[in-house]
């Protein structure tokens, strides 16, 4: 088995990945707060961890990997959206979750094994908060429960900051009832018109951070293998998750490996509503950009580098994918991806290197290897729907000519005249004719790049 190496934010090094239990490899990724469509930046971690999920399933077997990604369905932003629109909170969150599934599916991502919703785990959060209070890590103040950051010596270790640095650098919410300005909310009171649950501290709702600690504990245990998310979540969200989980369950390690993806830009600029370059995944899909193109562009940059989305890259991606579909669409095969592709992905998820392998496979005319590798990465392989190559009928004289050339290719091969055989093969490729050579040329068709003049020119 290929050794998988991953860059662990916690140690700031690339490490050999050794699961706690290879029969149950466990990964948790922070999911969306559901009140609006996912923007393009939100899609990046989904795609990065989808590739990691595929790699782990390949390495350990699909039945031995558990991937959890949550939905935050109780949050002040959701409450605000409900107030602004006059709609029910439940209707907003249901609709947004449906959109999220549709949009992420269009990007070719697999569904995680569990998609817990915060509102389904309130009793577990209340229990964890109670436990933190009894262990001296949290305190009650004015109807709130706060985590006392000074009670946990490891606070700040993930992002490499001290509590004093954080106070100096962060926009912390100053509240008179906090013992330390960095103390964060585990539970807060709800007014009668806000969603709330009964608790020992009165009717209220959980803070954001406690969700992930409670749900990962319930579904993956006190120690699990990988925790992922965007690097914008490293502080404070992930620091707070670590503080809560390690204090509530000191017997465990919480997450052993932390992976963070870099952010996304658009045409070299930060995506923002004020710059007018803010768009959702759905906006792009509606403009006719195929989900596989979005996927391909995202994977062409390593996850620890900033990703720049450009229209030019999308055009290039579509051109490459069309070319490859033209090469592989007739190939009936299903097997493992090319080992070089797995090797690249095993090297800290080098998706850019994996795409370079696809280019190599295409130039080597390795139809089976290319098809299996495209499939593995969730990229298109069939001439159908959006990727249908051509609806052109093959004129009889073109058919005769192509069959004649394939016959000549066969002849040249049997005479070991490889120079001649390769010349014909390259000529057919250049003329936009896709041939499955492994069937001895039985299967062939025109791609949308078919050029009769180039066919005539084959000598």
Report the interface residues with Zn ion, using CB under 5 A.
Answer: 30, 212
State the nearest-atom distance from the C-beta of 232 to Zn ion, in Å.
Answer: 12
Closer Cβ to Zn ion, 212 or 325, answer by number: 212
Closer Cβ to Zn ion, 82 or 214, answer by number: 214
- 88, β-bridge pairs: none
Strand 25-29, strand 223-230: pairing: parallel
Cα dist from 79 to 87, 94, 95, 186, 191, whole Å: 10, 14, 15, 18, 12
Q: DSSP of 434-448, one letter per residue?
A: EEEGGGTT-EEEE-T
State the nearest-atom distance from the C-beta of 239 to Zn ion, in Å.
Answer: 11
State the nearest-atom distance from the C-beta of 30 to Zn ion, in Å.
Answer: 3
Indicate the Cα dihedral angle 402, 403, 409, 413, nearest 10°. Answer: 160
State the nearest-atom distance from the C-beta of 210 to Zn ion, in Å.
Answer: 10
Pair 315, 268: CB distance under 8 Å: no
Cα–Cα distance for residue pair 43/305, rounded to 1 Å: 15
- Provide the 10 A C-beta neighbour count for residue 250: 11
Cα–Cα distance for residue pair 260/412, rounded to 1 Å: 53
367 is in an annotated binding site: no
| CA-based nearest residue to 167, from 182, 156, 152 | 182
Closer Cβ to Zn ion, 240 or 346, answer by number: 240
Integer Rg of the chain from CA: 27
State the nearest-atom distance from the C-beta of 240 to Zn ion, in Å.
Answer: 9
273 is in an annotated binding site: yes
Closer Cβ to Zn ion, 112 or 290, answer by number: 112
Closer Cβ to Zn ion, 231 or 333, answer by number: 231
State the nearest-atom distance from the C-beta of 212 to Zn ion, in Å.
Answer: 3
Closer Cβ to Zn ion, 212 or 370, answer by number: 212
Cα–Cα distance for residue pair 195/206, rounded to 1 Å: 10
Closer Cβ to Zn ion, 234 or 352, answer by number: 234
- 69, β-bridge pairs: 29
State the nearest-atom distance from the C-beta of 27 to Zn ion, in Å.
Answer: 13
- 340, β-bridge pairs: none
State the nearest-atom distance from the C-beta of 229 to Zn ion, in Å.
Answer: 6
Closer Cβ to Zn ion, 205 or 331, answer by number: 205
Q: DSSP of 229-281, one letter per residue?
A: EEGGGIIIIIHHHHHHHHHH-TTS-EEEEEEEE--EEETTEE--TTTT---BH
Cα–Cα distance for residue pair 349/302, rounded to 1 Å: 7
Closer Cβ to Zn ion, 231 or 347, answer by number: 231
| CA-based nearest residue to 41, from 32, 29, 52 | 32
Cα dist from 432 to 242, 327, 402, 418, 456, whole Å: 55, 10, 11, 21, 12
30 is in an annotated binding site: yes
State the nearest-atom distance from the C-beta of 292 to Zn ion, in Å.
Answer: 28
Tokens of 23: 């029969």
State the nearest-atom distance from the C-beta of 233 to Zn ion, in Å.
Answer: 6
Cα–Cα distance for residue pair 9/239, rounded to 1 Å: 12
Closer Cβ to Zn ion, 152 or 208, answer by number: 208
Strand 223-230, strand 144-147: pairing: unpaired
Pair 98, 38: CB distance under 8 Å: no
Binding residues for ATP: 273
Binding residues for Zn(2+): 30, 212, 237, 241
Binding residues: 30, 212, 237, 241, 273
């Amino acid at each position: 088995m290929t050794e998988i190496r991953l860059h662990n934010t916690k140690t700031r090094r690339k490490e050999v990945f050794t699961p706690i239990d290879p029969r149950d490899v466990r990964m948790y990724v922070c999911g969306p707060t559901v009140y609006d469509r996912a923007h393009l930046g939100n899609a990046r971690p989904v795609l990065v961890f989808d590739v990691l999920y595929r790699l782990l399933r390949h390495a350990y077997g699909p039945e031995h990997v558990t991937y959890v990604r949550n939905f935050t369905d109780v949050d002040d932003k959701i409450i605000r959206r409900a107030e602004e629109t006059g709609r029910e909170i439940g209707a907003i969150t249901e609709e947004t979750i449906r959109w999220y599934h549709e949009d992420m599916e269009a990007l070719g991502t697999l569904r995680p094994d569990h998609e817990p919703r915060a509102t389904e785990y309130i009793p577990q959060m209340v229990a964890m908060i109670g436990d933190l209070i009894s262990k001296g890590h949290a305190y009650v103040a004015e109807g709130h429960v706060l985590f006392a950051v000074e009670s946990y010596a490891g606070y700040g270790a993930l992002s490499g900051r001290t509590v004093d640095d954080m106070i100096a650098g962060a926009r912390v919410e100053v509240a008179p009832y906090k013992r330390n300005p960095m103390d964060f909310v585990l539970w807060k009171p709800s007014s009668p018109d806000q969603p709330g649950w009964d608790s020992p501290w009165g009717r209220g709702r959980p803070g954001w951070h406690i969700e992930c600690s409670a749900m990962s504990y319930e579904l993956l245990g006190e120690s699990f293998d990988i925790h992922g998310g965007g690097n914008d979540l490293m502080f404070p969200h992930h620091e707070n998750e670590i503080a809560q989980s390690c204090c509530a369950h000191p017997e465990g390690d919480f997450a052993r490996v932390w992976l963070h993806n870099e952010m996304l830009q658009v045409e070299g600029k930060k995506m923002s509503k004020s710059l007018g370059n803010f768009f959702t995944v759905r906006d792009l899909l509606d403009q006719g950009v195929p989900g596989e193109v979005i996927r391909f562009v995202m994977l062409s940059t390593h996850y620890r580098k900033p990703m720049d989305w450009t229209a030019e890259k999308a055009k290039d991606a579509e051109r490459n994918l069309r070319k490859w579909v033209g090469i592989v669409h007739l190939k009936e095969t299903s097997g493992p991806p090319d080992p070089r592709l797995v090797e690249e992905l095993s090297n800290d998820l080098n998706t850019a290197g994996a795409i370079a392998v696809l280019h190599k496979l295409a130039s080597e005319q390795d139809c089976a290897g290319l098809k299996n590798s495209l499939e593995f990465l969730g990229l298109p392989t069939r001439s159908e729907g959006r990727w249908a190559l051509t609806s052109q009928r093959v004129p009889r004289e073109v058919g005769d000519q192509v069959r004649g050339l394939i016959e000549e290719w066969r002849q040249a091969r049997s005479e070991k005249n490889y120079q001649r055989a390769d010349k014909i093969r390259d000529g057919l490729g250049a003329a936009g004719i896709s041939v499955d050579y492994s069937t001895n040329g039985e299967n062939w068709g025109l791609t949308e790049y078919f050029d009769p003049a180039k066919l005539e020119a084959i000598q």
